[in-house]
Structure 1
């Protein structure tokens, strides 16, 4: 059923008919309505109104529900990620003050899970893209959304992964023409300054700031043919320009990260018959980023440009109410996210020319700067499609559902680079180069991310069981490819590799809810659920010989011309670099999975006011380890040297020169839990209150920690360009966090809206996050090695995890709205203040040992004012 207000009629022979009116039914919620019928004639009817249920006593899930009215009232940047971050336990990976980065996707983290395990649904259909293993999702056209649900625990068998589950319930057209519009604007004169002398003394010359932000979002819907066919359309135009900390043009002007996003959405709804409904939509964003870069980048030469090739999501869905108990659904959809990341104009040089050799990207690993050119140009073409179907059967005691989800499609990637390398410096002195096998053209094909599931909600008096099981089949293939030669590689011809991997897995789910008091006001909830690790083609990319590969080699600028010539570059750390795969998957490698255990209680304290306490534990299994079959610990020479930080002895391992370049890496599944394990523990306390006059407030506290033991040669994460490097004992320093004092870290959130006299409404959003963990990474210089004979680049962390953190990130946003009404029309004028307290907390700092250690790289944007209007009719 779609979200909204419902009327329920209770009729039984010999009793008076009772009508319960005004039941507010949100999405992903089972409302329990209890009534008492009096003796009387069936023809007699009594209509009553009451508070809607707020405790779900039939589901073990925890879900935050954001209705359209609340979305409009709370000050945010109006994206699903910023709305999802309102839920207790959810953490954003970056700041978003006043929508200053609305066109840039935030990542959401939950209960120890990475962003790639999040699920973003539109009307129940998964719309994650294939990019970065599913980590990115479509840009959000806010006006298309009627309601947002944020599920943070115990997803049922119809959901594959264990991260944040956000379901966007779309708006639809109806028999009456309706529409809305939002216009918001921020200029540079609307922002304060939070750059202090203290920050300047630490090396921050320019803080983060907004040059301008505007957001125009309009929508309209209505009938094409009354009672049969309706339309809904929406347009959004977002643009923002952000000053990035410590980035400048050559003339001294602050660098600006600018971007613009146009978005068009069209949705058609047809009532084919009284019991059959067909919907179809397409959402077409067009996004351009002229300058994509981070702190310390030369904006003129080293920023990337992002251009869209083809970018859209689309779906067609059929819904059939066969009987009042049986519901059938089927659909097809697609998410296409084809984009380019290319050099600035005139930076790309013709391959093999003198300018090409001299125009390599230059990176200072101590000062954290990049000049001359960006990282290699990147062209991504992921095309992900899906087929879904389900059948739901609901009786008085059972709510049964079974279904199928199949996602498939190709992913093409191309890379190229000036000089086929990056030159690296240590405070201006040449140190090493990162050599690439460019040009590259990799082609993977997701054959099947296929899931069949069965689940039920079985009511046994006060106890409700939520059993389920999911069968999953996952298969990816590598297409054959011929690639032209590059500077460090010759012509390459690679054959097809089918079914790498091919996994068959089960994921059982079990939840239980007990209505403790029998009046649907107190629910004890329990859950034990298995979730397999989400992926698209990232696992397979690691083993595609045609994918981007890198090799860090020593470099001595003999003739001091600041150009890395071949005779100045040291030997490779992989003798087969670019020519043959140096990294392989054990044929018996298993799919990673995790098991979530949860215990919680929901209690309605007063009508409309509820509290929740919940404990979570997540245990990860089938963790990967990496082995180099040609190199072992005995092939390293250990020596100790004083830490440049505090003088304590640090053990360094130097690979014997006879073994340099011998690489045969095998990724396999670790079986020793003493040396390879990961756990998450978390406690959450939250509340939600629906107050009189339409007021609403919610929030809570979460405290958690993740503990990792990785002492078996943990396999590098499947990032584009991950180097195939030897198993390295230098990475084992502090590898066992169970022996360290890793503390629990706490976050707090509070948000809501409250009407006051004179047609005014106050909205507030306060979020407080624990500061990010810090490291001190020491790139050990060659001079430290005995005789200066460093065979490969070595970086070690000089401080134990859990000993240093950034300061807390506290942000208070406030909104004041004046509401005007005239008939069916409503007009809101709003003044929003973001980061009201003008916090300048450091969000990221240089963690590389050297003169710039601890220098701020990013601070919270200063206090920001936004003026906006919102009209509905």
Structure 2
């Protein structure tokens, strides 16, 4: 377990009220009684938002019970009035995103003109739902120390969540946070902003070219749902990050901020030459929100800019001057000149160390605007648009000396993410509420190589500049061999949710239609990649291998498909102490197809001599019915102790789709990969052979009958209020993953059965399908298992401080790499025996047996009441 301690001092700036997407709204319910404990039917209940003045009215039923769904998270008061009783008011109610809160109100005999106000806190124990979730409030988002101010990092402070960083990268498919939630893969999560899809490529948290997510000051709060979530959540089998943005209120609020860092206090890196490289980082912005028309129209807007110049020392291995003496092939000389002479220590064998400074330049702009309108007493509307664009210039270097290039070569990354949502909500009656939403999410990313060469030095005329040269023991020369590349995804989503209160039942049903369009360009080795076994071979111009893509290859794919989702959910209050959460969701998608017909697949990896146009697979989603069931038991009836449990079936709707998109780009006949090894390879102008002359082609393909990844999750836990504002939770949470996408070598050499029955794979034996070389096969034979003890202790903010402690004891097993790079077009890591997938059953790569985290906020008492000097805090995160 790694330990990281961060301390910060911060100044509190702003507050705000927020949005009302059906999936991000809150529900409040309770029972109204008289002083003897008898229930009171027919009580007029008015719930008022203290920030905006907006109200909702209901009447208690024959059991004195009421339910008000569709409320925006924020501060509320509840007012109950009935003839013959004094009006009762409960203040201090704070509703959170996607919360089901309950409270009871007691009316005393009197007249309605009398008012009795009770001030209390919102319930801290969940007595209504069975799913595991945690809320990250505005105070934590704005005040806890965040390196880079990426608020999604705060999700890892909750039990059952691991941020697995070992497989992050620079390609679009590997950028961003990969959160493993309750044993599921890091690409199996859903990210929502005001109920709209904001998921990045292949299920990763959306980031920009700067590897960041700005907009901390525009986020009200977010809920992390980790296990047994209700049927109104779909698309994923891992977890849900449900984000709610700020909106304006009747008060005018604003904030301004600047975070500045530089290298003045930085220590020199061991590899730095001279002083530490210069570093400056400015992150600044402002927000404003308030009323355009009191109680009717509200606005909120925010802007943030990141401006960073990070000096780096890049280390490379180059040939010494002595090694360059000898017979040199004239064709090699221009490429030899690309290697600078060593300026560091001698590494031996004619190799020296070369270091050079490089300034990584990052610029990012974030802008968000939101408008909330109360159209009538029954209709409300909100519109929000978010833009986050970034540009970064960085060296062609991975941190591994063998793949580090030189100052002449660098890479530029550019991204632009936009999220637009409009939602209309109508209250037909005190029992019937409808929410209709349209959203568009546009994610763009471009990675483009650049260099300062006077001559292109391209290996063949159609290439704009040279590819890469790899020499044993030396760093590579040339730009990144996967650039240029682009990844553009657009989601258009229509959804409608209907909520109906019927006696003891809170019924919800809804539908979703989401059309996705992806445009992808990948140019792996399209400019050619030469490999030389050693420097002597390089000087002679005799490479040992050439990798490339045949001329005329089509490297762009344009695909679209549509997801359909339907659900029904019944939160049934069986008794005043017991609630059942029952639901089911059905989701299916259309088979993705290339706009221009550039699809091909291998029908049978054992017998097929060639790929067949079309595909890429039969539809695995048509039977994806997902039931959910759970309970919440208020043990003592006072809302202080709850036993909760639940289970559900979930499907990963993105798995096969994202895998097929990347695979199609390097599948013959549209983009045949060329891989030639041996003697006689010309340099620097290759000869592209036919498949026969160059040997069997390699291929990457999907199982034509691939199945939909699915997972069961289940939990049982106890939650208890220890004292006012303090709550402790402990419980078991587990999951099982089935039909997980995995990668195998589907065309191994023909094995030899040994005396003990084990298989031996001779190096030079013929392959199972002689028409092909290696077949990188994506199939659905993976499975996983997760068991955990999860505990948390929380102190809600009051008396100037808040505390949260989380501990998880868990074990994750699988037989497939749950972090499979669905679109990484480099070599895969295959199981040694493709005939025995269960032989890979072992502790998962992202398994973390013990995970502890803590965070705290303490408002310093010094100058606490001084409007100018006050507001100082100490905030800490330990994990």
**Greater shift after overlay, 631-640 or 353-362?**
631-640
**DSSP-derived class of the 2:633 partner:** strand
Does 1:288 pair with 2:398?
A: no
Task: Indicate the residue corresponding to 1:449 in structure 2.
Answer: 563
Query: For 2:432 and 2:851, how far apart are their aligned partners in 1?
Result: 43
**Deviation sequence 1:662-696 (CA, Å, 0-9, x none):** 2696968667xxxx532122221111102542311
Question: Which of residues 208, 214, 219 is equivalent to 1:145?
Answer: 219
Q: Is the 8 A contact 1:689 1:696 kept in 2?
A: yes
Query: For 1:136 and 1:739, how far apart are their aligned partners in 2?
Result: 28
**DSSP-derived class of the 2:637 partner:** coil
Task: Indicate the residue corresponding to 2:244 in structure 1.
Answer: 169
Question: Which of residues 516, 540, 544 is equivalent to 2:660?
Answer: 540
Q: CA deviation at 1:477?
A: 2.7
Q: Is the 8 A contact 2:616 2:660 kept in 1?
A: no
Query: For 2:473 and 2:161, how far apart are their aligned partners in 1?
Result: 33
**DSSP-derived class of the 1:540 partner:** helix
**DSSP-derived class of the 1:336 partner:** strand
**Greater shift after overlay, 517-526 or 615-624?**
615-624
**DSSP-derived class of the 1:19 partner:** strand
Does 1:585 pair with 2:703?
A: yes
**DSSP-derived class of the 2:430 partner:** coil
Task: Indicate the residue corresponding to 1:751 in structure 2.
Answer: 855
Task: Indicate the residue corresponding to 2:440 in structure 1.
Answer: 334
Task: Indicate the residue corresponding to 2:629 in structure 1.
Answer: 510
Q: CA deviation at 1:156?
A: 1.3
Q: CA deviation at 1:16?
A: 3.8
Do the aligned partners of residues 340 and 33 (structure 1) sit closer, same or farther apart at CA in structure 2, a change above 3 Å counting? same
Do the aligned partners of residues 446 and 480 (structure 1) sit closer, same or farther apart at CA in structure 2, a change above 3 Å counting? closer
Structure 1 gaps of 5+ residues are: 96-102, 484-491, 641-648, 761-818, 840-873
Does 1:229 pair with 2:229?
A: no
Q: CA deviation at 1:39?
A: 4.1
Task: Indicate the residue corresponding to 2:324 in structure 1.
Answer: none
Q: Is the 8 A contact 1:555 1:570 kept in 2?
A: no
Q: CA deviation at 1:608?
A: 0.6
Q: CA deviation at 1:569?
A: 13
Q: CA deviation at 1:474?
A: 1.3
Task: Indicate the residue corresponding to 1:721 in structure 2.
Answer: 825
Task: Indicate the residue corresponding to 1:25 in structure 2.
Answer: 95
Q: Is the 8 A contact 1:612 1:686 kept in 2?
A: yes
Does 1:159 pair with 2:272?
A: no
Q: Is the 8 A contact 2:468 2:476 kept in 1?
A: yes
Task: Indicate the residue corresponding to 1:487 in structure 2.
Answer: none
Query: For 1:702 and 1:182, how far apart are their aligned partners in 2?
Result: 35
**Deviation sequence 1:1-51 (CA, Å, 0-9, x none):** 122221112334544432111112222222221344444444443111123
**Greater shift after overlay, 688-697 or 657-666?**
657-666
Task: Indicate the residue corresponding to 1:707 in structure 2.
Answer: 813
**Deviation sequence 1:245-267 (CA, Å, 0-9, x none):** 85479773344443221112121
Q: TM-score, normalised by structure 1?
A: 0.73
Do the aligned partners of residues 2 and 122 (structure 1) sit closer, same or farther apart at CA in structure 2, a change above 3 Å counting? same
Query: For 1:608 and 1:423, how far apart are their aligned partners in 2?
Result: 65
**DSSP-derived class of the 1:476 partner:** coil
Does 1:276 pair with 2:350?
A: no
**Deviation sequence 1:687-719 (CA, Å, 0-9, x none):** 110254231110211122221235xx9997532
**DSSP-derived class of the 1:503 partner:** coil
Q: CA deviation at 1:539?
A: 3.4
**Deviation sequence 1:436-482 (CA, Å, 0-9, x none):** 45753343433211111111211112111111100101123322548
Do the aligned partners of residues 695 and 317 (structure 1) sit closer, same or farther apart at CA in structure 2, a change above 3 Å counting? same
Task: Indicate the residue corresponding to 1:474 in structure 2.
Answer: 589
Do the aligned partners of residues 415 and 677 (structure 1) sit closer, same or farther apart at CA in structure 2, a change above 3 Å counting? closer
Question: Which of residues 409, 417, 440 is equivalent to 2:554?
Answer: 440
Do the aligned partners of residues 424 and 652 (structure 1) sit closer, same or farther apart at CA in structure 2, a change above 3 Å counting? farther
Does 1:618 pair with 2:686?
A: no
Q: Is the 8 A contact 2:88 2:117 kept in 1?
A: yes
Q: Is the 8 A contact 2:101 2:126 kept in 1?
A: yes
Q: CA deviation at 1:187?
A: 0.4
Q: Is the 8 A contact 2:728 2:791 kept in 1?
A: yes
Query: For 2:73 and 2:472, how far apart are their aligned partners in 1?
Result: 53
**Deviation sequence 1:60-98 (CA, Å, 0-9, x none):** 123222222232221113223222222222222349xxx
Do the aligned partners of residues 398 and 702 (structure 1) sit closer, same or farther apart at CA in structure 2, a change above 3 Å counting? same
Do the aligned partners of residues 333 and 2 (structure 1) sit closer, same or farther apart at CA in structure 2, a change above 3 Å counting? same
Task: Indicate the residue corresponding to 1:119 in structure 2.
Answer: 190
Q: Is the 8 A contact 1:289 1:305 kept in 2?
A: yes
Task: Indicate the residue corresponding to 2:422 in structure 1.
Answer: 316
Question: Which of residues 217, 220, 233 is equivalent to 2:285?
Answer: 217
**Paired positions, count:** 730
Task: Indicate the residue corresponding to 1:848 in structure 2.
Answer: none
Task: Indicate the residue corresponding to 2:163 in structure 1.
Answer: 92
Q: CA deviation at 1:183?
A: 0.9
Task: Indicate the residue corresponding to 1:605 in structure 2.
Answer: 722
Query: For 2:683 and 2:556, how far apart are their aligned partners in 1?
Result: 32
**Deviation sequence 1:546-572 (CA, Å, 0-9, x none):** 66968584645768x985845999989
**Deviation sequence 1:813-861 (CA, Å, 0-9, x none):** xxxxxx9626xxx9867898999xxx9xxxxxxxxxxxxxxxxxxxxxx
**DSSP-derived class of the 1:85 partner:** helix
**DSSP-derived class of the 1:753 partner:** strand
Task: Indicate the residue corresponding to 1:189 in structure 2.
Answer: 264
Structure 2 gaps of 5+ residues are: 1-70, 167-173, 318-339, 341-353, 538-542, 599-609
Query: For 1:89 and 1:425, how far apart are their aligned partners in 2?
Result: 47
Correspondence list, 1:714-793, <5 A: 718-721=822-825, 729=833, 735-738=839-842, 745-759=849-863
Do the aligned partners of residues 303 and 106 (structure 1) sit closer, same or farther apart at CA in structure 2, a change above 3 Å counting? farther
Do the aligned partners of residues 406 and 218 (structure 1) sit closer, same or farther apart at CA in structure 2, a change above 3 Å counting? same
**Deviation sequence 1:276-309 (CA, Å, 0-9, x none):** 111112112221011165213226355421123x
**DSSP-derived class of the 1:84 partner:** helix
Q: CA deviation at 1:636?
A: 6.5
**Deviation sequence 1:478-537 (CA, Å, 0-9, x none):** 225488xxxxxxxx9996658753621111111111112221111111111111013173
**Deviation sequence 1:596-640 (CA, Å, 0-9, x none):** 1211111111111011112222111124567888x5663569999
**DSSP-derived class of the 2:238 partner:** coil
Query: For 1:281 and 1:742, how far apart are their aligned partners in 2?
Result: 36
Question: Which of residues 738, 744, 750 is equivalent to 1:634?
Answer: 750
Does 1:81 pair with 2:184?
A: no
**Greater shift after overlay, 48-57 or 155-164?**
155-164
Q: CA deviation at 1:584?
A: 4.5
Task: Indicate the residue corresponding to 2:640 in structure 1.
Answer: 521
Query: For 1:216 and 1:520, how far apart are their aligned partners in 2?
Result: 43
Does 1:421 pair with 2:467?
A: no
Q: Is the 8 A contact 1:589 1:669 kept in 2?
A: yes
Task: Indicate the residue corresponding to 1:399 in structure 2.
Answer: 506
Query: For 1:133 and 1:493, how far apart are their aligned partners in 2?
Result: 29
Q: CA deviation at 1:653?
A: 4.0
**DSSP-derived class of the 2:126 partner:** coil
**DSSP-derived class of the 2:232 partner:** coil
Query: For 2:79 and 2:294, how far apart are their aligned partners in 1?
Result: 27
Do the aligned partners of residues 381 and 625 (structure 1) sit closer, same or farther apart at CA in structure 2, a change above 3 Å counting? closer
Does 1:464 pair with 2:579?
A: yes
Query: For 1:207 and 1:558, how far apart are their aligned partners in 2?
Result: 48
Do the aligned partners of residues 319 and 157 (structure 1) sit closer, same or farther apart at CA in structure 2, a change above 3 Å counting? same
Q: CA deviation at 1:381?
A: 2.4
**Deviation sequence 1:163-185 (CA, Å, 0-9, x none):** 33222211112344321112101
Query: For 1:739 and 1:229, how far apart are their aligned partners in 2?
Result: 54
Does 1:390 pair with 2:497?
A: yes
Q: CA deviation at 1:215?
A: 0.9
**DSSP-derived class of the 1:320 partner:** strand
Decide which structure has the larger Cα Rg and report it: 2
